[in-house]
Structure 1
Amino acid sequence: MFNKLKQVKDLRDKAKHLQNMLADEKVEGSAAWGKVKIQMNGNQQILNVDVDPELLKESEQNRLQDAIRDACNDAVKKAQRKMVEKMRASGDLNVPGLT
């Protein structure tokens, strides 16, 4: 039983270490031909939203909202890929089903 508890603690420590490493990773998602950009860290926290002023002039609200949503989704996918890369690189966080 103590062995299982130690394994759980080790896994928790490794996950915390991975989370700290991912906080330093930055990814950028974009949409609307690069006119909307979202920067997020590897923990999928949005750091910055950049909207080209030209898009604000020419765009209607729905189009801008769609572009922001698409850029967020793009950034999330990239952050998830970074997480998988870091987990694979650590070699000791083998989680079934990760692709």
Structure 2
Amino acid sequence: MFSKLKEIKDLRSQAKTLQNALKDEHVDTSAAWGKVKVKMNGNQEVEEVTIDPELLTPSKKTDLENGVKEAINDANHKVQKIMAEKVRKS
């Protein structure tokens, strides 16, 4: 029983170490012809969103919405690849 508890404690420690390492990773991505940019850290937290003022008009609403969605999803996929690589190395 104690060996199981030790395994759980070790796994928690490894997870915390991985989480701390991922926090220092960052990905940058863009969408909508480079007019929407997203910066995300390795813990999948969006740190920055930059939108070209050209997209801030009612006629460009759909382009803006699609661009934000696309940029965030792309950043998420990039972070997931980084996570998988770090897990393989640990």
The two structures share one fold, judged by TM-score above 0.5: yes
Runs of 4+ off more than 6 Å: none
* Pairs aligned (count): 90
Contact 1:29 1:73 in 2 (8 A): no
Task: After superposition, give the CA deviation of every residue in 1:6-63 in whole Å (9 maximum; x if it has no partner).
Answer: 0011001000000000000000121112211110000000000011223335952121
2:30 equivalent to 1:23? no
Larger helix percent: 2
Structural RMSD (CA): 1.5
Give distance in 1, aligned partners of 2:22 and 2:88.
13
Change (3 A) 1:59 1:42: farther
Structure 1: give runs of 5+ residues left out of the alignment: 91-99
Give distance in 1, aligned partners of 2:37 and 2:69.
10
